[in-house]
Amino acid sequence: MAEQDARGAISIALKDGMEQGLNIGIKQGLERGIEKGEALGKRSSRLKLLARAKIELDPAQRAQIDACNDVALLDQWFDRALGASSADDVFGG
């Protein structure tokens, strides 16, 4: 009987641990997805802003924006782009 009780307790503990792990994984996945989506939206709006301002990007600058997932840096580029007359004004070159 005691052995059966121990096996039942272990089974319950394993199930609880798996559920907790799954919940943590889902939460982390959602957070990463939201962060990636936010960065994607910001990259797109930066490119649109630069195009409207008729600021041409060289391939390296375009690649820099396309690869950027740093929301703070994307915000910094946005602020610089508002009064920019060239890509150098935006990227600090």
Q: What is the pLDDT of residues 36-86, one digit of tens each?
A: 899 999 999 999 999 999 999 999 999 999 999 999 999 999 999 998 999
pLDDT at res. 93: 60
Overall average pLDDT of the 2-28 stretch? 84
pLDDT at res. 50: 94
SS3 content of the chain, % helix, strand, coil (to 5): 85, 0, 15
**What pTM does this model have?**
0.68
Is 26 exposed, middle or buried (CB count within 10 Å of its CB: 0-12, 13-18, 19+)? exposed
Per-residue pLDDT band for 1 (boundaries 50, 70, 90) equals low
Query: What is d(CA 20, CA 42) in angstroms, rounded to the nearest whole number?
Result: 33
pLDDT at res. 90: 92
Do 44 and 15 meet the contact criterion of CB atoms below 8 Å apart? no
Q: Which long-range contacts (CB under 8 A, 24 or more apart) does 67-70 make?
A: 68/39, 68/43, 69/35, 69/36, 69/39, 70/39
Per-residue pLDDT band for 89 (boundaries 50, 70, 90) equals very high
